[in-house]
Amino acid sequence: MQRLTSAIMTSTGKRVPIPRRGVDYRGKMVLAPMVRSGELPSRLLALYYGADLVWGPETVDRSMIGTTRKVNEALGTIDYTRFPSHGAQNKDHSQKESLIYRLHPEREGSRLIFQVGTSDPERAVQAARVVAADVAGIDVNAGCPKPFSTHGGMGAALLQTPDKLCAILEALVDEIVPEFEIGISVKIRLLETPERTEHLVRKLCATGITGLTIHCRTTPMRPRERAIREQLKMIADICRESGVACLMNGDVANRAQAEDLVKEFGVDGAMIATAAETNSSCFRAEANGGLASWEEVVGEYLKMCIEMENRWGNTKYLLNHLIPGKSPKYKEVTVSKSYSQTCKVLGLEHLEVPAKEADDHIGITAEAEHQGRKAMKNKNKNQSAMAAGGKQNRNKQGKKRLSQRGASQQEPSQPAVALNV
C-alpha cells in the first residue's frame, strides 16, 4: 500500500482510538464519495491504481433501511436489494428488484467507507447497522450542496444545524462503534467565516469521531471555483488537538500534489474527486508509473465493469469522463448500447467474449445493439452530410457583393475601389 508522508504519523499527541475493524485515515490518499462515479467498478479501479481507501457514493438512509443482504456467489459480491414501492415489474410480470448497494468484500471491504445521507440520528443508526459488518467505516455526508442531498436537511444543510449533526455522529459512535468495531467520520465544507468553521470543527471533534474531511469550498461554491486553503492549517490543528484524523478535499490532482499539501498544511491525508473521474491512475505514484494513458485506464475500467456486471448506463456515464472528448472514439462510445459493442469500438478484442456474456446476464438485447450500430451509422452519415452541405452552400453563395465586403460599386468605366482598407 502506498502511503502519504504525514507529520502526524510521528506525533505523540492525543488520538481517538481506532476500533479493531476500523481504519486510520492518517497517511492516506482516498477516493471521494461521488454519486454515479463512485460505484463498485470505479472504486476497484481506484484501488488498482493505488488509492488507500475508497468512499462509496452517498446512500440515503431510507433507501438502505429495509434492504435485503444477499451474497452474490457468481460475482463474489454482497448486494443490498429491495423491491420498489411503485411495484415495477420485469417482462415476465415478476416484481422487479432494485440493487441499492453492491460491494466486493474481498477486494475492497477492508478499505471501503460507506457514506450515509441522513438528517436523523435514529435513521442514521438504522441504515448504518444494515451495512456496518461489511465495511471499514461509516461517514456522514454533511458537505454535498446539491438539492438531492440537501433536501430534507441532509448534506450541506446539516452545516446550518450543527446540533443535529453532532447528535447524528454521537448516536453512530454510541450504537455502531461498540457493536461493529468500526470508526465514524464526517465530511463537511467551510462555513461563511473562519470563526464559524472553527467552532463547528471543535464541536464535531468532541463527538468521538475518528476522522474529518474538509472540502475546501463553501456551500455556494462550484467545483470550477478555486479551493480555499487558508483555513486548512487551523482545521488540521484542531483535529490534531482532539486526536481526530484530518483529510483535505478540493483541487487535489494527484498523489505528488497530495504529498505536498500534507507537508504544507499539516493535514493527515487527501481526498480526490474530479481528477479520479478523468483518470483514475492519478492515485499512482510517479515511481510506479504515474499517470497512465486514457486507453489503458478505460481498458482496465471496462474489464472491471464486465466482471462486476455493472449497470450499462452507469458504465457509460464514467466512460464519457474517462475518454477525452476530442478523441474520435468518444463519439462512437456515446452511441454504443452494450459492452460488446463498446469493446469493438475501442479495439478491446480480448474482452469481447466476456463482454457478450455480461450483456446477456444484465439483459442487453440484440435489438439494443442493433439500435446502437444504427445510431452510430446515422451520426457518421449526418456529420458527412453536414460537412458536404456546408461546402456546397459555400460554393453556391459565391462571392459576396462589394457592398457586403465593405466596398462601393463604381461606374463601369472606373475601376472598383475598396473602402475601409
What are the cell numbers at 371? Answer: 439500435
Q: How many residues does the chain have?
A: 421
Euclidean distance between CA atoms 340 and 256, whole angstroms: 36
**Number of other CB atoms surrounding residue 153 within 10 Å:** 14
**Catalytic residue status for 166:** no
Phi, psi of 182 (to 5 degrees): -125, 160
* Burial state string for 220-240 with b = 16 or more CB within 10 A and e = fewer than 16: ebeeeeebbbebbeebbebbb
Do residues 27 and 7 make contact, with C-beta atoms less than 8 angstroms apart? no
Catalytic residue among 144, 205, 305, 343: 144
User: Residue 181 has what DSSP assignment?
Assistant: -
Pairing of strands 137-142, 112-117: parallel
Question: Which residue has 438528517 as its cell numbers?
Answer: 119
Do residues 56 and 77 make contact, with C-beta atoms less than 8 angstroms apart? no
Q: List Cα–Cα distances, 238 to 68, 198, 201, in angstroms.
A: 40, 8, 7
3 state SS of 213 = strand
**Number of other CB atoms surrounding residue 275 within 10 Å:** 18
* Maximal CA-CA distance, the chain: 102
User: Residue 20 has what DSSP assignment?
Assistant: T
Active site residues: 144
